[in-house]
Structure 1
Amino acid sequence: MGALDFLSDYFTISTPRKKRKAMQTVEIKVKMDCDGCERRVKNAVSNMKGAKSVEVNRKQSRVTVTGYVEPNKVLKKVKSTGKRAEFWPYVPYNLVAYPYVAQAYDKKAPAGYVKNAVQAHPIPNATDEKLTTLFSDENPNACSIM
């Protein structure tokens, strides 16, 4: 049966199915000064295969691309226009767990946005609490030093 299985696998026509790219939104920070810069970036990105919609916000220096595209390819396409581009580093103020961290504030961030920075001090674990209550006067079972 080994030869028959080999021949049947050899002669069956099976094409591997390509995985479809997921629909996603890519936000890119691009410095645009004039209408020509805005038009050049918008035309470059809108001609990409899989791009459904392109929104350009010159006031915030932001380009939003929605569609079946890969983020790195969109970034590369925007950079090919000669503009300095990077992924959008800001998140809305109300979505950040610790918006009061010093690293979260950026002078160039638009109103209502901050950088997503981690908290400087980690949250104390339960073991830290056990060590602090070890010599407590309020705990009758605590160790006492005399």
Structure 2
Amino acid sequence: MGVLDHFSDLCNVTSTRKSKRKPMQTVDVKVKMDCDGCERRVRNSVSSMRGVKSVEVIRKQSKVSVTGYVEPNKVLKRIRSTGKRAEIWPYIPYNLVTYPYVAQAYDKKAPSGYVKNVVQALPSPNAPMVKYTTIFSDDNPNACSIM
């Protein structure tokens, strides 16, 4: 078997060119858009990029979601080329944050249901996690004795 494996490795055709395919991802960008013309200009500039599968514009939230094989910095650069101020989406959903009312996290300009993505709002890795499922467990000797 060793000889056959050796010959199969020699005869195996491999390409020397390594293609670096970008991963499929969704890039969310915050862009202030006032009218249909602004929205159309941003949508057309991004949708003409190579690798873009879909573009979703939510003008009420000032949000553009681009899905495809793209890099976030290139999407941001393309949107800025239209003359609009743009930044990577700085918000995360309200229910994913442990401390949503920290001074840096709470933002009046944020869309409803979102807060800013800051380190102070997330739990620290050294904080003890309380597991509520073990409070009334029969295996826990310090569990409630009433049950």
In structure 2, give the amino acid aligned to 1:46.
S
Task: State whether structure 2 residue 118 is matched by structure 1 residue 113.
Answer: no
The separation in 2 between residues aligned to 1:115 and 1:93, in whole angstroms, is: 9
Structure 1 pair 14/107, CA: closer, same or farther in 2 (3 Å)? Answer: same
Q: In the aligned structure 2, how far is the partner of 1:75 from the partner of 1:84?
A: 9
Q: Residues 13 and 42 (structure 1 numbering): CA distance in 2 closer, same or farther, change over 3 Å?
A: same
Query: Residue in 2 aligned with 1:86?
Result: 87
State the Cα deviation string for residues 27-60 of structure 1 (Å, max 9, x = none): 0000000000000000000000000000000000
Structure 1 runs, 4 residues or longer, greater than 4 Å off:
120-126
TM superposition shift of 1:64: 0.2
Q: Tell me how far 1:97 sits from its aligned partner.
A: 2.7
Asked if 1 retains the 8 angstrom alpha-carbon contact of 2:45 and 2:82, the reply is yes
**Residues 80-126 of structure 1, C-alpha deviation per residue, up to 9 Å, x if partnerless?**
00000000000000111321211111111000000122238968789
TM-score normalised according to structure 2 size: 0.71
1:64 aligns with 2:65: yes
> Cα offset for 1:14?
4.6
Amino acid at match of 1:67: G
Partner of 1:104: 105
| Distance change in 2, residues 1:36/1:123 (3 Å) | closer
| TM-score computed with the length of structure 1 as normaliser | 0.72
Q: Which residues of structure 1 form unaligned runs of 5+?
A: 1-11, 127-146
Contact 1:106/1:115 (8 A) holds in 2: yes
2:43 is matched with: 42
Secondary structure of 1:86's partner?
Answer: strand
Percent of aligned pairs with the same amino acid = 74
Number of aligned positions between the proteins: 115
CA-atom RMSD, angstroms? 2.3
